Amino acid sequence: MGEAGTADIASAEASIRTVLKHDTHSARALFTLGVALADQQHFDEARSSWTAAHELVASWSSAPARNLARLADRQGDVATARQWFQTVQTIEGNDSEATVYVATHPG
Protein backbone atom coordinates (compact mmCIF):
# COMPACT_ATOMS: atom_id res chain seq x y z
CA MET A 1 0.00 0.00 0.00
CA GLY A 2 1.32 3.44 -0.88
CA GLU A 3 1.82 6.32 1.53
CA ALA A 4 -1.40 8.03 0.42
CA GLY A 5 -3.38 4.84 1.03
CA THR A 6 -1.88 4.43 4.47
CA ALA A 7 -2.60 8.05 5.35
CA ASP A 8 -6.19 7.69 4.11
CA ILE A 9 -6.74 4.60 6.25
CA ALA A 10 -5.24 6.28 9.31
CA SER A 11 -7.45 9.32 8.74
CA ALA A 12 -10.52 7.12 8.37
CA GLU A 13 -9.59 5.24 11.53
CA ALA A 14 -9.28 8.51 13.46
CA SER A 15 -12.67 9.67 12.19
CA ILE A 16 -14.32 6.39 13.14
CA ARG A 17 -12.79 6.52 16.62
CA THR A 18 -14.30 10.01 17.02
CA VAL A 19 -17.72 8.60 16.13
CA LEU A 20 -17.24 5.81 18.67
CA LYS A 21 -16.42 8.33 21.40
CA HIS A 22 -19.94 9.72 20.95
CA ASP A 23 -21.73 6.47 20.15
CA THR A 24 -19.96 3.47 21.63
CA HIS A 25 -22.71 1.16 20.36
CA SER A 26 -22.48 2.01 16.68
CA ALA A 27 -22.21 -1.36 14.98
CA ARG A 28 -21.49 0.32 11.66
CA ALA A 29 -18.59 2.30 13.12
CA LEU A 30 -17.21 -0.78 14.89
CA PHE A 31 -17.45 -2.82 11.68
CA THR A 32 -15.78 -0.09 9.62
CA LEU A 33 -13.07 0.36 12.23
CA GLY A 34 -12.36 -3.36 11.96
CA VAL A 35 -11.93 -3.01 8.21
CA ALA A 36 -9.53 -0.08 8.62
CA LEU A 37 -7.55 -1.98 11.26
CA ALA A 38 -7.36 -5.12 9.11
CA ASP A 39 -6.18 -3.00 6.18
CA GLN A 40 -3.34 -1.85 8.44
CA GLN A 41 -2.69 -5.48 9.44
CA HIS A 42 -3.77 -4.86 13.05
CA PHE A 43 -5.62 -8.15 13.10
CA ASP A 44 -6.14 -8.56 16.85
CA GLU A 45 -7.72 -5.11 17.07
CA ALA A 46 -9.81 -5.79 13.96
CA ARG A 47 -11.03 -9.03 15.52
CA SER A 48 -12.03 -7.18 18.70
CA SER A 49 -13.88 -4.51 16.74
CA TRP A 50 -15.76 -7.04 14.59
CA THR A 51 -16.62 -9.12 17.65
CA ALA A 52 -18.12 -6.05 19.33
CA ALA A 53 -20.05 -5.23 16.15
CA HIS A 54 -21.29 -8.81 15.91
CA GLU A 55 -22.62 -8.69 19.47
CA LEU A 56 -24.75 -5.68 18.48
CA VAL A 57 -26.17 -7.08 15.23
CA ALA A 58 -26.03 -10.87 15.61
CA SER A 59 -29.75 -11.31 15.06
CA TRP A 60 -29.88 -9.56 11.70
CA SER A 61 -26.46 -8.99 10.10
CA SER A 62 -23.79 -11.53 9.23
CA ALA A 63 -21.17 -9.02 8.05
CA PRO A 64 -19.04 -8.99 11.22
CA ALA A 65 -19.24 -12.79 11.56
CA ARG A 66 -18.24 -13.21 7.91
CA ASN A 67 -15.19 -10.98 8.37
CA LEU A 68 -14.25 -12.86 11.54
CA ALA A 69 -14.53 -16.15 9.63
CA ARG A 70 -12.40 -14.87 6.76
CA LEU A 71 -9.78 -13.50 9.15
CA ALA A 72 -9.58 -16.78 11.07
CA ASP A 73 -9.25 -18.73 7.82
CA ARG A 74 -6.56 -16.37 6.53
CA GLN A 75 -4.65 -16.95 9.77
CA GLY A 76 -4.98 -20.72 9.44
CA ASP A 77 -7.49 -21.18 12.29
CA VAL A 78 -9.90 -23.45 10.45
CA ALA A 79 -11.90 -24.43 13.56
CA THR A 80 -12.66 -20.81 14.43
CA ALA A 81 -13.38 -19.93 10.80
CA ARG A 82 -15.79 -22.84 10.60
CA GLN A 83 -17.59 -21.69 13.77
CA TRP A 84 -17.96 -18.17 12.42
CA PHE A 85 -19.19 -19.45 9.05
CA GLN A 86 -21.75 -21.56 10.90
CA THR A 87 -22.85 -18.34 12.61
CA VAL A 88 -23.19 -16.75 9.17
CA GLN A 89 -25.39 -19.68 8.13
CA THR A 90 -27.54 -19.25 11.22
CA ILE A 91 -28.08 -15.57 10.44
CA GLU A 92 -28.41 -15.80 6.66
CA GLY A 93 -29.81 -19.27 6.12
CA ASN A 94 -28.58 -20.44 2.74
CA ASP A 95 -25.26 -18.63 2.22
CA SER A 96 -23.06 -20.06 -0.51
CA GLU A 97 -19.69 -18.95 0.88
CA ALA A 98 -20.46 -20.25 4.38
CA THR A 99 -22.05 -23.46 3.11
CA VAL A 100 -19.07 -24.30 0.91
CA TYR A 101 -16.59 -23.54 3.69
CA VAL A 102 -18.38 -25.67 6.28
CA ALA A 103 -18.80 -28.53 3.76
CA THR A 104 -15.15 -28.49 2.73
CA HIS A 105 -13.76 -28.03 6.25
CA PRO A 106 -15.47 -30.71 8.33
CA GLY A 107 -15.18 -30.31 12.05
| Domain stop point among 35, 57, 79 | 57
Are 49 and 64 in a shared domain?
no
| Tens digits of residue pLDDT in 71-96 | 999 999 999 999 999 999 999 998 99
CATH of residue 37? 1.25.40.10
pTM of the model: 0.86
Q: Are 61 and 90 in contact (CB under 8 A)?
A: no
Are 40 and 76 in a shared domain?
no
| Tens digits of residue pLDDT in 33-72 | 999 999 999 999 999 999 999 999 999 999 999 999 999 9
Query: Which residues constitute the domain of residue 51?
Result: 1-57
Q: Are 28 and 56 in contact (CB under 8 A)?
A: no
Are 85 and 38 in a shared domain?
no
Count of domains for the chain: 2
For residues 54 and 84, what is the distance between their CA atoms, to the nearest angstrom?
A: 11
At 102, the pLDDT band (50, 70, 90 cuts) reads very high
